[in-house]
Amino acid sequence: MADDKSNATAYWKANLRLITGCMIVWAFVSYGCAILFRPLLSGIPVGGTDLGFWFAQQGSILTFIVLIFFYAWKMNRLDQQFGLGE
């Protein structure tokens, strides 16, 4: 019983660490690159516009989609590690 509880606690901690990491990346790209760092990125051309505008319009969406697939992949590995795989 105690082993199951410690296993569940370790699984939950690993899950929260993964969620926190994904949220940090999402916040950095969405707020940092698109809003806060836009003046610094404005001199770098990408696809006919500057990099700051690109992050605001396209980059944050593409990053969010990549984060979804990354999270699913990591959670599948985490489930297998803790014996919860399908």
Q: Answer yes or no: are the C-beta atoms of 32 and 52 closer than 8 Å.
A: no
At 33 the pLDDT is 74
Q: Is the pLDDT of residue 1 over 60?
A: no
Asked if the structure places residue 11 within a domain, the reply is: no
At 2 the pLDDT is 57
Domain range for 73: 17-81
Provide mean pLDDT across the span 66-74: 96
Asked if the structure places residue 12 within a domain, the reply is: no
Chain segment 9-63, per-residue pLDDT in tens: 999 999 999 999 999 999 888 887 777 777 877 788 877 888 777 777 777 888 8
At 20 the pLDDT is 96
- pTM > 0.95: no
Asked if the structure places residue 43 within a domain, the reply is: yes
Mean pLDDT of the chain: 85
Domains contained in the chain, number: 1
Band the pLDDT of 83: cuts 50, 70, 90: confident
